Amino acid sequence: MTDTHREAFKEEAHELLGELENALLELEKTPADEDLIGRVFRAMHTIKGSGAMFGFDDIAAFTHDVETVYDRVRGGKIAVTKPLIDLTLSACDAIRRMVGAPEGAALQDPQSASLTQSFRAVLHEQEQPAPGAAEAGAPAPPQRPPEKARRVTYRIRFQPVAELFVSGTNPILLLNELRGLGACTVVAHRERVPLIAELNPELCYTYWDIILTTERDVDAIRDVFIFVEDACELRIDVIDDEGWTDDDGGYKKLGEILVERGDLTLDEIKKALGSCKRIGDILVESGLVAPDKVESALVEQQHIREERQKRQAAEAAASVRVPAAKLDSLVNMVGELVTIQSRLSQLATRSGDLAIIQVAEEVERLIAELRDNTMSVRMLPIGTTFSKFQRLVRDLSTGLGKEIVLATEGGETELDKTVIEKLNDPLIHLIRNSIDHGIEKPEARRQAGKPAQGTIRLAAEHSGAHVFIRITDDGAGLDTEAIRAKAIERGMIAADATLSERELYALILAPGFSTAKEVTNVSGRGVGMDVVKRSIDALQGTIEITSQRGTGSTVSLKLPLTMAIIDGLLVRIAQAYFVMPLAAIEECVELTRADAAKAHGKNLTSIRGQIVPYIRLRERFSIDGQAPAIEQIVTTSIDGLTVGFVVDQVVGEHQTVIKTMGRVYRDVEAVSGATILGDGTVALILDLPKLLQGAEAEIRAQQQTGRG
Query: For residue 97, what is the domain's CATH number?
Result: 1.20.120.160
Please, what is the average pLDDT of the chain? 79
Whether residue 200 sits in one domain with residue 183: yes
Whether residue 397 sits in one domain with residue 539: yes
pLDDT at 584 over 80: no
Residue 251 lies in a domain: no
pTM of the model: 0.58
- Sign of the torsion formed by the C-alpha atoms of 214, 219, 225 and 231: positive
Cα distances from 332 to residues 328, 369, 396, 659, 683, in angstroms, run 6, 15, 40, 10, 18
DSSP 140-189: PPPPPPPPPPPPEEEEEEEEE-GGGGGGT--HHHHHHHHHTTEEEEEEEE
Bridge partner residues of 241 (DSSP): 152
Query: For residue 581, what is the domain's CATH number?
Result: 2.30.30.40
C-beta separation of 583 from 678 below 8 A: no
Whether residue 537 sits in one domain with residue 417: yes
> Could you give the CA distance from residue 654 to residue 581 in angstroms, rounded to a whole number?
10
C-beta separation of 673 from 539 below 8 A: no
How confident is the model at residue 164, as a pLDDT? 86
> Could you give the CA distance from residue 292 to residue 641 in angstroms, rounded to a whole number?
77
Whether residue 478 sits in one domain with residue 444: yes
Give the distance, in angstroms, between the CA of residue 231 and the centroid of all CA atoms in the same chain: 25
Residue 659: DSSP 8-state: B
The residue from 244, 265, 289 where one domain ends is 244
How confident is the model at residue 134, as a pLDDT? 41
Residue 262 lies in a domain: no
Whether residue 415 sits in one domain with residue 550: yes
Average the pLDDT over each of 132-146, 222-236, 385-399, 676-690 and give the range with the smallest value.
132-146
Query: For residue 152, what is the domain's CATH number?
Result: 3.30.70.1110
Q: What crossing angle do the helices spanning 3-29 and 383-399 adopt, rounded to 10°?
A: 60
Residue 135 lies in a domain: no
Residue 511: DSSP 8-state: T
C-beta separation of 418 from 379 below 8 A: no
Query: For residue 538, what is the domain's CATH number?
Result: 3.30.565.10
Whether residue 102 sits in one domain with residue 75: yes
pLDDT at 588 over 80: yes
pLDDT band at residue 138 under the 50/70/90 scheme = very low
The residue from 197, 224, 244 where one domain ends is 244
pLDDT band at residue 136 under the 50/70/90 scheme = very low
Cα distances from 420 to residues 192, 383, 426, 427, 675, in angstroms, run 49, 10, 11, 10, 23
Residue 238 lies in a domain: yes
For the stretch 20-23, contacts whose Cβ atoms lie closer than 8 Å and that sit 24 or more positions apart, written own/partner, are 20/44, 20/47, 20/92, 21/89, 21/92, 21/388, 21/390, 21/391, 22/387, 22/390
The residue from 378, 412, 446 where one domain ends is 378
Residue 165 lies in a domain: yes
Residue 304 lies in a domain: no
Whether residue 646 sits in one domain with residue 554: no
What does the H/E/C string look like for 137-151? Answer: CCCCCCCCCCCCCCC
**Domains of the chain: total:** 5
Average the pLDDT over each of 31-35, 81-85, 294-298, 661-665 and give the range with the smallest value.
294-298
Whether residue 575 sits in one domain with residue 515: no
Cα distances from 443 to residues 394, 402, 436, 604, in angstroms, run 19, 9, 15, 54
pLDDT at 12 over 50: yes
pLDDT in tens, 43-102: 888 888 777 777 787 888 888 888 888 888 888 888 899 889 999 999 998 888 888 876
C-beta separation of 450 from 475 below 8 A: no
> Could you give the CA distance from residue 598 to residue 604 in angstroms, rounded to a whole number?
9
Whether residue 350 sits in one domain with residue 384: no
Residue 229 lies in a domain: yes
Q: Which of 462, 461, 385, 376 is nearest to 422 (CA)?
A: 385
Question: Which has the higher per-residue pLDDT, 235 or 565?
Answer: 235
Residue 313 lies in a domain: no
pLDDT in tens, 249-265: 445 555 566 677 676 67
Whether residue 606 sits in one domain with residue 510: no
pLDDT in tens, 280-294: 676 677 777 667 666
The mean per-residue pLDDT over the stretch 417-443 comes to 88
Q: Which of 644, 626, 624, 621 is nearest to 634 (CA)?
A: 644
Whether residue 196 sits in one domain with residue 179: yes
The β-bridge relationship of strands 552-560 and 542-548 is antiparallel
**Domain carrying residue 18:** 3-125
How confident is the model at residue 647, as a pLDDT? 93
pLDDT in tens, 603-641: 888 888 888 889 889 988 889 888 899 999 999 887 667
Whether residue 172 sits in one domain with residue 81: no
